[in-house]
A and B are shown apart, each in its own frame.
Chain A
C-alpha cells in the first residue's frame, strides 16, 4: 500500500504535447496550478493548525471525505456542482462531532491532539473502506477539453479550478484583513484567559473555526476528485504535503501559506523534472526536514 501512495504523485502535472510544447510557458502554468492546488488543500490545515494550534493528523482524511462526496453525487446521478455543498455539509458535520467529542478536551495538549486525530484518521479511513471498499473510485471529468492559454492548450477544468482558488483566496485575504474575526481568533489562541475577559466565547469560536477548517478540506477534496484517484488512503499524501507547506511557509498567515505552497510546489516540480518523481518527493522531504530543524517558524511568520 505505501508504495502506491507515494507513487501516486497527486500534485504532478505532465502535459504531453508532442508537436510544439512551449516548455517555459507550460512550466509557469504548471507551477501556478500546483501552487493553487496546494493552497486549496492546505488552507484547512492552516486554519486548524496555524490558528487553533491543533495538529490535525486527520486533515487528509477530511479531503478524502470530500472526494467521496463527489463520488456519491456522481453515483446518484446528480449535478456535479452539488458535490460542493454536500462535501461542506458532510465534513462540517463530522468536524462538529469530532470537535465536541475529542478536540475540545485537548486544546492545551498538543501531543494528545496529535495522537487522537491520528486515531481519528484511522477511523475515517476504515469507515470509508467499510462503506465503499478499498479499491479506487474515479470521478468523471466535469469539463473535459482544453483551452488555449497564451498559445498553450491547457485543460479547462484546471483553469476553472485555478481561477476559483485565486478568487477565493483573494476574497478570504480581504475579509481577514477587514474583519475583527482574525484578531479574535488570534486573541483566543494567544491569550485565552484575556479573550474570555473581553467577552469572547472561546468555546464556540474554537468550535466554528475548527468546523470551517475541516469543511474547506472537504471542499478541496470535492474539487480535486475528478483529477485524482479516490481511495481510502489518499489522505496521507495531502496531510504530509500540507504540513510541509506550513512548516516552510510559517504558521498563522495567509501570506505564509502562499509562499509555502509556491516553494514546496516549486521544489517538487523542479526536482521531478530534472530527475524523476521520487527525486521530487525526496527533495521536498529534505527541504522540510531542514526547515523543521533550522527554522521551525518558517519563512513568513508573525513570530
Chain B
C-alpha cells in the first residue's frame, strides 16, 4: 500500500519536472494529453469498474469547454471568475448525465449497448447544436481568443502545472472513490447486477451517480482544455473525439486510473511524432486497438502490472482492515405470515402458476418439492419482483410483494439465494461478504467512508464457524468449487439478515458430506435469525431433516401440504413422483 502511494507520488513529481527537463513545448503537448486522460479516467470508472460504456463523453467535455471558454472571453480571466466557472463546468455536465442515467438505467437492468448508443447519439446532437447555435457557440468557427485561465498562468508555461495539479486531484479523488464501499458496489454491478438488487441496492441510481461523476470529470477537463487551446470548436463535442476517448482508455487500460492517462499520452505522442513521417500510423493505432479488444482487455497498464508482478511485490492483495466493529442485530419485528392468494402466472399462453394458494407460518422452515417444471422457482420469482403475476396476491404481513422491484422486495427483509449459485465471482470472498453485510444497512454517506469494511455481525461469525473457508477473505470467489459457491451464496443470503429466507436448491451439486453440513447450517442460521425459511429441494433426506412443513407443487398448483410423514402417505404425491400422473 505504502509502495503504491510512493509510486503515485513519484509519478506526480515526475510530471511536475517535465517542463524543466524536456522544455515547455513538450509540456504544452503533454498537458493536452493529460486533459484527455482525465476524461478517460471517468470512462474507466464507468466502463472498467461499473461495466457500462459511455460513448459520448465528448458531450460533457465540450460543455465544460464551452462554459469555460464563454466565461473567460466574457468576463476575462481572474480568481473571481475561476471558481464559479469550474463549479459550473463540473456540475452542469454532471446534472445532465445524472438525468440521462436515471432515465435510462431505471428503465432497464443490464448494460446493453443501447445506453452506449444513446450517449453517442447525444454527443452527435450536441455537435449539431454547437454548429447551429452560432449566437452562443460561435458556430462552425467556434469560440476563439479565449484568454488564459488566470492572469500570469500562461498556456505555454504555468497552465501545465495547473493541469497536473487537477489530474492529481482527480486521480486521488477517483482512486478514493474506487476504494470506498461505493466503488465496491460498482464492481458488484458489473459482475451481477440482478444479484445486487436482491441485496436491496437500487443499481440504476448507483449507475446514474457514477455516470454523473464521470461527466463532471469530463466537464472539468473541458474547462482546462478551453484556456489551453485558446479556442473551442464543435469538434470538442463531437462523435470522433468521443470515440477517441474510448480508444485511449481501452489501449491504456480501463481497469484503473493510470491506464487512461497512459493511453492518451502514449497515443498522443506517437501520433504527433509519427504523423508526418509514417503515413500508416493511424492504421497502426487501429490495429493495436483491435488487438487490445481481442487479446489484452487490460491494456498497457495491465501489461505493465502483470510484468511488474514477475519481479516486484504483489500489489493486488492489500491487507483489508479487520472486521472489528460488531453491529447489533437489527430489531426484530413480529415476523408476519406469508400468503399466496390465488396466484396465477401466465407467460404467453403457458400457465406457470395456477391459482396457487398457500400460507406460510412465521418462524418455520418450509420445504417446497415437486417435479421439474412444477413452478417452484417461478413461485419465488413472483415474490422477488422478477416475474409479474397475472392475478391474485402475495402478502407478507400487511405488505404486498407483487409489483415491487427486486431491491424494494429486499428492503422488506426478504433474502433470496438463486438456483444457480450466483455470487460476484470476480471479487474476493471478503468483498462478497461485505456486500451482504451492507445490504439494507449501509447509509448513503457511509458508502463514501471506509468504516463499513470493518463491520462484523454475530451471524457472520456463526457462518465462519460453519464454513471456515469464508475466513479466507482474499481468495477470489470465482476459484471456489461448486459446493463452496453454494455455501458462499447461502452465506451471503443469510448474512444480509432477512426475515424471510428463500433458498432455491441450496444442496444441488454438493457431496454427501457437504449436504450434511449445509443442512445443519440452514436450520441453525434460520433459527438464529428467527426467520421464516422457504427451501426448494430435491434431496428428500434434506427435506426430511429441515422441514417443519412440506409443500408439494405440481403443474403450477399446490398438490399437498403437511409434515413429511403426511406427505409420504399421500397417494397423489406418490403417483406424481413415480410417474407424473395424478391418479
Contacts and interface: CB of A to CB of B under 8 A. Distances in A.
Interface of A: 1-3, 6, 55, 102, 105-106, 110-112, 114-116, 118-120, 122-123, 126-127, 129-130, 236, 240, 243-244, 247, 276, 278-279, 281-282, 285-286, 288-289, 292-293, 296
19 contacts: A2-B127, A2-B235, A2-B239, A6-B131, A110-B112, A115-B250, A116-B294, A118-B289, A119-B289, A119-B293, A122-B286, A126-B283, A247-B117, A276-B132, A278-B132, A279-B132, A285-B128, A289-B121, A296-B108
Contacts of B13: none
Nearest to A240: B124
B174 interface: no
- Quick one: which of A112, A115, A276 has the most chain B CB within 10 A? A115
A286 B128 CA distance: 11
Contacts of B103: 293
B234 interface: yes
B104 interface: yes
Contact of A123 (B240, B250, B283): B283
B568 to A, nearest CB: 38
Contacts of A289: 118, 121-122, 125
A111 B113 contact: yes
Contacts of A120: 286, 290
Contacts of A240: 121, 124, 239
A286 B103 CA distance: 15
Given A2-B235, A2-B238, A293-B103, A281 B128 contact: yes
B116 interface: yes
A130 B278 CA distance: 10
A114 B114 CA distance: 11
B234 A2 contact: yes
Given A110-B112, A126-B283, A102 B290 contact: yes
Contacts of A110: 112-113
Contact of B128 (A6, A55, A122): A6
B243 interface: yes
Contacts of A129: 282
Interface in B498-532: none
B327 interface: no
B129 interface: yes
A191 B250 CA distance: 31
B286 A292 contact: no
Contacts of B127: 2, 6
A118 B280 contact: no
B287 interface: yes
Contacts of B235: 1-3
Contacts of A3: 131, 140, 234-235
Contact of B121 (A106, A127, A288): A288
B96 interface: no
A292 B128 contact: no
Given A2-B238, A106-B294, 9 more contacts: A2-B127, A2-B235, A114-B53, A116-B290, A122-B289, A126-B283, A285-B125, A289-B121, A293-B107
Interface in B135-151: 140
Contacts of B250: 115
A55 B55 CA distance: 14
A286 B125 CA distance: 8
A243 B112 CA distance: 15
B462 interface: no
Interface of B: 53, 103-104, 107-108, 112-114, 116-118, 121-122, 124-125, 127-129, 131-132, 140, 234-235, 238-240, 243, 246-247, 250, 279-280, 282-283, 285-287, 289-290, 293-294
A289 B294 CA distance: 30
Nearest to B132: A278
B53 to A, nearest CB: 6
| Chain A interface, >50% SS class | helix
B287 A123 contact: yes
A282 B129 contact: yes
Given A122-B282, A123-B283, A293 B118 contact: yes
B294 A102 contact: yes
B293 A112 contact: yes
Given A122-B282, A122-B285, A282 B290 contact: no
B290 A119 contact: yes
- Quick one: which of A130, A240, A289 has the most chain B CB within 10 A? A289
Nearest to B103: A293
3 closest cross-chain pairs (CB), A and B: A122-B286, A123-B286, A119-B290
Contact of A236 (B107, B239, B246): B239
B280 to A, nearest CB: 6
B246 A115 contact: yes
A278 B280 contact: no
B294 A114 contact: no
Given A120-B286, A278-B131, A293-B104, A115 B124 contact: no
A149 B75 CA distance: 60
B283 A130 contact: yes
B293 A115 contact: yes
Nearest to A57: B243
B286 A282 contact: no
A298 to B, nearest CB: 11
Nearest to A128: B283
B473 to A, nearest CB: 31
B100 to A, nearest CB: 9
A150 to B, nearest CB: 35
Contacts of A115: 246, 250, 289, 293
A130 B290 contact: no
A91 B140 CA distance: 35
Contacts of B280: 126, 130
A218 to B, nearest CB: 20
A2 B116 CA distance: 20
B290 A123 contact: yes
B113 A55 contact: yes
Nearest to A116: B293
Contacts of B290: 102, 116, 119-120, 123
Contacts of B283: 122-123, 126-127, 130
Contacts of A126: 280, 282-283, 286
Contacts of A2: 127, 234-235, 238-240
Contacts of B113: 55, 110-111, 114
Contact of B114 (A6, A123, A296): A296
